[in-house]
Structure 1
Amino acid sequence: MNPNPINYQAIELWQTLSDKETTLTFKQAAIKTWKLLQQAGRLLFLVSLFFVVIVVWLWSVAYRSGKDFRYWLETAQVSPEKLFATTLDILVQRPIAWLVNWSEVKRQELMRTPEVKALLSKDEK
């Protein structure tokens, strides 16, 4: 007699599900999944909080800068040429000067490392 394949598969599935090892495996998987979801939720919350703080900080800096700039324009009665020169200095010349100074400091720090000194002394020989 040929057994019913659906009945056979249902019995096999029930035996696998009712096995103690299967229960333990599913319990461990559920615990691990819950921990992962908690950690992912915490990370998502902290990252979103970080972005909110950045937006608020940038808004406050922009607001304060605009307020100070307006006060400076109204009190100093600056000519358009002076305004352009100051803006050019703040936006272009100062960052470039800072970058050149920073790269020179980093170059000097690099030249003082033992590895670079060894390479330089090897080249001199």
Structure 2
Amino acid sequence: MRINQKEIEIILSLYPIAKTRHVELQEVLVKTQSAELKAEIMEKDDFYTKVIKTVDEWTNCLTQEELILIDYRYFRGYNYQIIANETNYSNHSSVLKIIKKIIKKIERNSY
């Protein structure tokens, strides 16, 4: 089943949260004695691990410039104007168009 552009954007936005929660859950897992509680933690961590692996796979097909734009927009939450200022693009609409192309590229390469 193909994943659409909106879903890609949502998953990209979840990536920094997933990385943080994954580390936190791994730390709790090490300290937990109960097998039942460990199973619950691992089940929760599966979701975050899937998000991380998915985004890592997507970003493998991107150029360094594309990665920077994805990082600024989805991982750091910068708006288009701030990204334009940081990356020396002429305006926010230039950044918006490029990011849309990147999302389409991810969509084409995802399966």
TM-score bracket relative to the smaller structure: under 0.3
Q: Which has the higher contact order (CA 8 A, sep 6+)?
A: 2
**TM-score, structure 1 normalization:** 0.25
Larger radius of gyration: 1
